[in-house]
Amino acid sequence: MRLFGRKNEPVDPAEAISDFWTWWRQTRPEIDAYIEAEDTQALAELIGGAVTTLHPSLIWEIAPGGTARHALVVSASGDPELRPLAHRWAKAAPPTDDLWEFHPSRQANPKAAEVTVEVAGREFGVDRLVLGLRVPPGAARVDVSAFHPIFPDIDDETRLEATLLALDWLLGEDEVARWVGDIIAAEFEPIDAIPAIHLSAVVADIAEGVKPGQWALLEGQTGQGARLTVVARHPLRPVDFPTFDQHIAISLPYANAQEDGQPAGPSMKALRDFEERLGELLGKRGSAVLAAHLTSGGTREMHVYADPSGDAALVIKELVPSWPEGRARVDVAADPSWSAVAHFLT
């Protein structure tokens, strides 16, 4: 069954999550009774209100479980602003039992090729979905152009919704965010299209070529024409760190610069030493990650993302005064979509 709920006003996330699981424990016998009776309308009314109190834009569904009979999925539906909330909800869930398990995103359906649903009054079967695939050079993702025989007869928005749903069934929602780039729901069949069921094999090939700990070096110019260098994790994706929605910006002015404004001599060594100390501190905690740093005009800006329930911001504020070449600055803000490094997301 596919059930959804929405509300108009959000509440405090931590309080809402706690309230939800309190409600779940109290209401579990009633929920289980409706499940046994296959009363989808009663379930929609009961669970729908509780989920939408969590946040107005979360969606939910009851799906077959992996180890349990049923899975309750509460999903951000691809919205990076809501992904941390959904994952925190799942982290606070009770242990899986014989009847229920809990997920913060739609899971891949091992029988996706057999799934058929009604879309705009037409039969939409994944077995008839085909995909045109393109892997951009140097990218750890695949761009998808999807086509189904019913697509010429339905509107653009419905085509895209059907495509996104099918991709979630094929890969799982988080894997779509991780490995799929541009998505087009095409009105005409792409050249060299392949059956959609082969998408997971293509993604597996891409994933095999991605090694952990890689970094990309980028160069460009600032708006004033100064040389800008960027070092960013590759691939750089918020979905890999779903609860790291606290942005910690570190600004380090350096004293020794080349003519183009890039660090030289003692300043280069000081920056490397600081980054090593920062990496050691973050590595010990496991609740924060250095995403990228930008260097131009005598200043290096380091972008760290952390789980706000940890102490990364405090540790960094204690570390920064040791910077020897000027007055360093630390700014902390919520940034669940990683907008501060949006240009370098891959």
At 207-251, the pLDDT tens digits run: 998 888 899 999 999 888 889 999 999 999 999 999 999 999 999
- Could you state, in order of their start, the residue ranges of all structural domains in the chain? 13-103, 112-208, 215-344
Pairing relationship of beta strands 194-195 and 130-134 according to DSSP bridges: antiparallel
Q: What is the mean pLDDT of residues 136-158?
A: 94
Please state which of the four CATH numbers 3.30.2010, 1.10.3470, 3.30.300, 3.30.70 is assigned to the domain occupying 215-344: 3.30.70
pLDDT at 6 over 90: no
Task: List the beta strands (DSSP E) in the chain.
Answer: 59-64, 70-75, 100-103, 116-119, 122-125, 130-134, 142-147, 180-185, 194-195, 215-221, 227-233, 246-253, 288-296, 299-306, 329-334
Give me the residue label for tokens 């000081």: 270
Question: 174-185, pLDDT tens digit by residue?
Answer: 999 999 999 999
Between the CA of residue 251 and those of 160, 278, 318, 325, 330, what are the distances in Å?
A: 41, 13, 14, 12, 6
pLDDT at 201 over 80: yes
Out of 3-17, 113-127, 220-234, 314-328, least confident range:
3-17
Question: 279-326, pLDDT tens digit by residue?
Answer: 999 988 889 999 999 999 999 999 999 999 999 999 999 999 999 999
* pTM confidence score: 0.90
pLDDT at position 11, please?
A: 61
User: Mean of the per-residue pLDDT values for the chain?
Assistant: 93
